[in-house]
Structure 1
Amino acid sequence: MLNSTILGLGLIVSILSMLLDFLFFFKITNLSLGGWKNFLYLLLVVIIGLCTNNWGYKGDVVYNLTVVLALYLIYRTKINTYLILNSIIFVFNIEIVLDIVRSIFLGIIRYDLSKEALMMLNSVLAFISCFLIVFVMNKYSLQIRQHFIGNNKRITLWLNCYLYLVTIIISIVYTESTHIPPVSIFFISFLILQALFAIGIYNLMLIEQKQIIQKRKQEEFIKNQHQLEEYTTYLEKSEDDLRAFRHDYKNILNSLKVSAQEGNVQEVIQKLDKYTETNLNSKALLKYKDVNHIYVKSIKSIIISKLTELYNLDIPYNFECRNNIRNLPDHVDELDLVRIIGITFDNAIEESKALIAEKHDIRSAEVQIMVYSDGPGEFEYEIRNKIENRKISTQEIQQRGFTTKKDHKGLGLTNIKEIDSKYPDMSISYTVRDGWFDFYMTIDTEDGEEDE
């Protein structure tokens, strides 16, 4: 009777452990089961796990590989492959480590307990292990997910796979060897040290990355702060110039009126030119024209930054934003638009610099920028720049690695293409015509909803 109870508990623990694998996976990935077909596939995987349950850790390897393969085939089109593999291999690693700790503990006290008591205790400890996995899953799922899909997802996957190999080898050697020789002990100890070393290196790498990111953020903040201060100074100067102009314009008009009545048209023109030259720096006044209509801080900041760069390089440009832009489409990540604007500005600046260097004439280059929005669901952005007289294929420039710049990886427009693929209602076009390169992007969620 006791043996039947113990076997029943063991079966329950095995099924619970398998269910936790899938619960952890769905918790991390935020996926749903997705229909009866997927349910039957996963049920088949559970049956395979139960059939291999008596094979020891070799059976666990077969079951684990089956789970990984099944989840990859079912969900590979829905989420990132790294998230699939990292999520399920990570929970396998937790289970194996807890199994090793449990086996070592039972091995220490086995001489003081009967076989039945050991089996019962093993089942109880297995239940506790399951609850530990649930605790980790509920409390740290968000942080774990960030590691699985972040910039270090490839390194995380390699570390997960390495830890899995280490722990499974240790488990097989420990459970299937009644007498472990010194060579095996050394080998296991070496693997454990390597695993700990790999985890330590990974943590040090994360700390170093955080410090680098923090430093970059501080530098970017200082840069943006400087640009915003410059923009504020520009606005104050424009206001002062406007006040001065309003104060003087009556006297100026009276003077011009007298000259005009006497028929001295040439004198009128000369006075206007002189006043404009001495009192109004037209280029400086137009430096940030229309930027005040943009209220989205991230977009405003990148545009101020790039207009400042154009101004400092003496590249002729014109920026236009006639209506107020207070919001972006809800589903669009601001940083994606910042990347697109930054990449296209950089391309226009680089091309303009090359054109000026070739022609030895600043007037040979020109950049025109337009930003427009007619509502929260719409956003338009266009940038045009003069180009050298050569044939450019709009298809070729979007391919990975294409570039006209020396020692450049040529990933700019490829990155834009990847961003474009994230948003069904985003439309991007490239045009080369009459010595101009034109980049045009529009986002219209209302049209997308109507299409559906």
Structure 2
Amino acid sequence: MFQILNILNSVTWPLFEGVVMLTWFSTFLSQRHYSWRILVRVLPLLYVVNIIGNGFDSAILRAIFSSTSAIAILYILGRQQRLASNQSIILLYAIVSSFFAYWIPNLEKTVVAFFDVEPVIEVSLDFLANVFSLGVAIIVRKFKYQWLTEAFLLGHPKLLKGLLWISLCLRIINDFCAYLFATDAFFGSIWLDFFLLVVVVILVILPAGLSYREMLLSKLKQHGDELEATHNYTHTLESHYAEYLSFKHDYKNIVSSLEYGIQLGNLSDIKTTYYSVIKTSETGLAETRDLHLHLIVDNNLKSAILVKYQYAKDLGVNFSVEINQPFQVSRFENDLNFYRLFNILIDNAIEAAVPSEKKVVTILFIDSKQIVIRNSYMGHINVENIATMGYSSKSDHSGFGLYFVNQYIAQHDHISLTTTVNSEIFTQKLLF
């Protein structure tokens, strides 16, 4: 019985550790799945690395080789598959994934070392620890928790650098403890294992928590902008309504003046009345009726359009909305990142239209299934590079906006974005 369990454990534990590592790595980087081609290529590598590492006579070499090689494989995988845009983020989560893969089996060995147990029980516990480690990784993954911290870490490079150095130091400490444990110079400490776990969890939770805090602050700011836009819009309507009442009050006098000028054949008076009163009044009425806001059901979307309308108007851009029936995409209600995506696309369209000759931005809402944003532009736009982190056709911009859009769409199966460019119009189409 012992021989069978020992063989089973020896054969399966490298496979367990490889799968657990890949599962955690995938979860941290918000990837839904790996292709079979990747699994067939990476899992055998992780398996072989663990087998080779176990074959070293030196305990320190065993510890360093296994963990370092596994981290290197995950790092190379992350870079080749472009699971994140920043190499430091890939390395950070590769190290963290190795911690979570090894922690439960290491804790089990530490606990068993305090007791005098039979070999068959020890081997059985080793196998169960690997099974439990895999189960924990799968359970966390099933919750589909989105570790959307990449954008946050990219915006805070000093924090990212600090977290990376901490993770590297912890990895070294853990490997050294494994060496001492293997050479009987150190019998292990449950408290040390839990201390390492707490610190590693902080490495994951800290950027996630700070990112969530920034999202809340951004949401509050957006809400404030929406309230301000609504206030400004209401004030504009009131102002135009007052102008309308004033115009109505003077209407009879205007008609009388025209009638008197016509009777006398005084063309000069007629021209004065027309150009000074009637003609100028045409520009005094609000054009926001062109936005068709009553057909947009989502209040957040409606407020965003009001804000961008005023923004475009201030920049001298002709901003219009085309819609022929009520529009609502209920799937995205209360999704702050979707509204952020929408605002980024509109901002880019307005800013691109400013230096153009026509200065036009048009938004089309089609059957609650499509949002099409068209704008005039000037110059050359590289469609292949616009979603790349750091790329921008504007000298004073970071190039992060469309990268965020691309990342958001990559993480949501029910939305897609297509981009087309001709000699005069730049078009981005969101399809739900």
- Does 1:303 pair with 2:296? no
* Distance in structure 1 (CA, Å) of the matches to 2:44 and 2:97: 19
After superposition, the C-alpha distances for 1:7-46 in whole angstroms (9 at most, x for unaligned) are 32343344333333344455651134244x8625533543
Specify whether residues 47 and 210 from structure 1 end up closer, same or farther in structure 2 by C-alpha distance, changes over 3 A only.
Answer: closer
User: 1: distance between equivalents of 2:363 and 2:349?
Assistant: 16
Q: Superposition pairs for residues 150-169 of structure 1, below 5 Å?
A: 150-152=151-153, 155=160, 158=164, 161-162=167-168, 165-166=171-172, 168-169=174-175
How many angstroms apart in 1 are the aligned matches of 2:349 and 2:321?
A: 21
Tell me whether 1:91 sits opposite 2:97 in the alignment: yes
Residue pairs, 1:32-431, within 5 angstroms: 32-35=34-37, 39-40=40-41, 42-55=43-56, 56-58=62-64, 60-61=66-67, 63-65=69-71, 67-68=73-74, 71-72=77-78, 75-77=80-82, 80=85, 85=91, 88-110=94-116, 113-139=117-143, 141-143=144-146, 145-147=147-149, 149-152=150-153, 155=160, 158=164, 161-162=167-168, 165-166=171-172, 168-180=174-186, 210-239=212-241, 241-242=243-244, 245=247, 249=251, 252-273=254-275, 275=277, 285-286=285-286, 288=288, 290-292=290-292, 295=296, 296-297=301-302, 299-307=304-312, 310=314, 317=316, 319-321=318-320, 323-324=322-323, 335-343=340-348, 345=350, 368-373=359-364, 375=366, 377=370, 379-382=372-375, 394=380, 410-411=396-397, 414=399, 425-428=418-421
| TM superposition score normalised by structure 2 | 0.67
Distance in 1 (CA, whole Å) between partners of 2:239 and 2:72 is 70
Equivalenced residue count is 390
Write the distance in 2 (CA, Å) between the matches of 1:200 and 1:21.
18
Residue number in structure 2 paired with 1:442: 427
CA distance, structure 1, for counterparts of residue 210 and residue 46 of structure 2: 41
Q: Is the 8 A contact 1:382 1:441 kept in 2?
A: yes
More relative contact order, 1 or 2 (CA 8 Å, 6+ apart): 2
How far has the Cα of 1:256 moved from its partner? Answer: 1.5
Letter of the 1:233 partner, please give it. H
Q: 2:419·2:429 contact (CA, 8 Å) conserved in 1?
A: yes
- 8 Å CA contact 2:291–2:320 kept in 1: the answer is yes
Matched-pair contact (CA < 8 Å) for 1:318–1:369: yes
Shift of 1:255: 4.1
- In 2: Cα distance, 1:134 partner to 1:202 partner: 17
Question: 2:362 is aligned with what amino acid?
Answer: V
Give yes or no for contact 1:89–1:160 (8 Å, CA) kept in 2.
Answer: no
TM-superposition CA deviations, 1:141-188 (whole Å, max 9, x none) = 424x323x342267297268426624542443333332259xx99xx9
CA RMSD between the two structures: 4.9
Question: 1:41-65: per-residue Cα shift (whole Å, max 9, x none)?
Answer: 5335434434544444345236514
C-alpha distance in structure 1 between counterparts of 2:200 and 2:14, whole Å: 30
Instruction: Please list every run of 5 or more consecutive structure 2 residues that lacks an aligned counterpart in the other structure.
Output: 57-61, 408-415
The one-letter code sitting in structure 2 at the alignment partner of 1:175 is F
The aligned amino acid for 1:382 is N
AA in 1 matched with 2:3: N
Asked if the contact 1:18–1:46 (Cα under 8 Å) also holds between the matched residues in 2, the reply is: yes
Query: 2 CA distance for matches of 1:290 and 1:103?
Result: 71
After superposition, give the CA deviation of every residue in 1:86-126 in whole Å (9 maximum; x if it has no partner). 5554332112222332222122223xx34444333333334
Offset, 1:138: 2.8
